[in-house]
Amino acid sequence: MPIETIETGLFEGLQLTELINRAQDRLKQKRGNFDRYPKDSIINALNDGQIEATKRLRCLHGMSIIVLKNGYNQYKPPHDYLLSKNAFFYQSATSYWQLKITTREWLDRFKSGWRTTSGDPLYMFPGDNYGNMRKLGFYPRPKTDGTSYITGADSGVVVSDNAAATTGNVTGQNGTAHATVCTDSDGRTLADHGVAVGMVAVNVDTDESGQISAVSGSTFTISATDFPSGWSVGDNFNVLAGEYGTIVKWDGEDQVIYNAEIGGTIDVRTIVNNVYLEYVRRPLLLKYNEQYPEIAPDLHQYLPDYVPFALKRNSPKGSTDAMEATIAFQAFETGLKTHIQPDNKTTDCCTRFSL
């Protein structure tokens, strides 16, 4: 039998299929019937609810390496960026300091000449616009190019050009013996479950792991160098997709950091002359049936309440649909309020600014 859970007794929350079913209950629409409210509209509303919950509670955190460039003091934020938490400049692999978060108005007032001052960054501030996002600014402007993390990643960390697409790890069982190719015994199309090139896969039975080099249908491939034992029939696999970070390059697209070990991103240190950014991030969009929302499992139960609000809020004033939209939104808000601390602070009370 394939593995169904990563840890026994761990509540992982509600998968997209169950969230859709509960949303249809809220809409008073028969499960599986999408005549009035299409499935895509329900999924979009669930995603909107997850983003709204994340913004209100600031409950979803991520990390990014901002690769600095000599002479440049503004950089685009990570693609999933919402709010800053903390930023650290690494002078060496074992020496770093926390940057003070400020504004350009403060720098104009107290740091005369800051716009042309070079050195190791001490402050971070909201920069100019990059498309529809605000850039991250650093003062003093860096005087040295940051080291390339791609060529010297920390042990247990790998880099990929493919963005994360699913929440949590993808598990299953190998059905065909092979030296390098693992075949899902259930015949699932693994890309439809979020498995992507660049992620790390673990053979649970042999404790060997390696980076996925190809995904096709129900199979993925890993180099024989990483898997000297190969894949035997019945071997359980675990694709580690649940924890990731980003690398932001000043002149290119973001890259993704995946881990071969749980908790690996917190130990990222090979980033000399770069900035380690901790931030509140936008959740991954729900699109796979077996996918879990990225927000905490205890919050999943409130997402279906957001659906009637999103789909019925523009109904004529005084209509039954309009009243149901109001009631649903009140239920959603009430659920979120149970996760706000008694001192009226959200679940994250760190210093932050909005970009």
Is 287 part of any domain?
yes
The answer to whether residue 200 sits within a structural domain is yes
Residue 4's pLDDT is: 42
130 and 274 both lie in a single domain: yes
Do residue 53 and residue 190 come from a single domain? no
Q: Tell me, yes or no, whether 6 lies in a domain.
A: no
126 and 186 inside one domain = no
DSSP readout, 172-187?
EEB-S-BSSEEEBTT-
Cα 102 to Cα 99, 118, 279: the distances in Å are 9, 18, 16
| 328 within some domain | no
Same domain, 289 and 234: no
Sheet with 275-281, strands from edge to edge, namely 96-98, 81-90, 275-281, 61-66, 244-248, 255-259, 157-160
Angle at which helix 320-337 crosses helix 39-57, to 10 degrees, equals 40
Number of independent structural domains in the chain: 3
Same domain, 41 and 86: no
Could you tell me the CA-to-CA distances from 67 to 20, 149, 154 in Å, in that order? Answer: 40, 8, 15
Task: Kindly state whether residues 314 and 343 are assigned to the same domain.
Answer: yes
Whether residue 71 sits in one domain with residue 22? no
Same domain, 50 and 79: no
- Provide the angle, in degrees to the nearest 10, between the axes of the packed helices 16-26 and 303-312: 50
For residue 248, the model assigns a pLDDT of: 92
Three state DSSP letters for 69-112: CCCCCEECCCCCEEEEEEEEEECCCCCEEECEECCHHHHHHHCC
The domain in which residue 343 lies consists of 12-60+283-318+335-355
Query: Mapping DSSP to helix (H, G, I), strand (E, B) and coil, where does residue 66 land?
Result: strand
Amino acid 56: pLDDT: 92
- Residue 192: its pLDDT value, please? 84
CATH number of the domain where residue 214 is located = 2.40.30.180
Q: Within a domain: residue 99?
A: yes
Q: Tell me, what amino acid is at 173?
A: Q
- Name the pTM for this structure: 0.81
The number of C-alpha atoms within 13 Å of 297 and in the hemisphere containing its C-beta is: 7
What values do phi and psi take at 26, rounded to 5? Answer: -65, -35
Asked if 135 and 70 sit in the same domain, the reply is yes
**Mean pLDDT per 10-residue interval, the chain, length 355 residues:** 43 90 96 95 97 92 93 93 94 92 96 94 94 92 89 70 77 94 94 87 89 94 84 93 84 81 68 94 89 91 98 95 97 91 47 35
Domain membership of residue 116 (yes or no) is: yes
Same domain, yes or no, for 55 and 75?
A: no
Specify the residue for token string 């959603």. 332
Structure tokens at 84: 């800053």
Are residues 47 and 80 located together in one domain of the fold?
no
Same-domain check for residues 66 and 135: yes
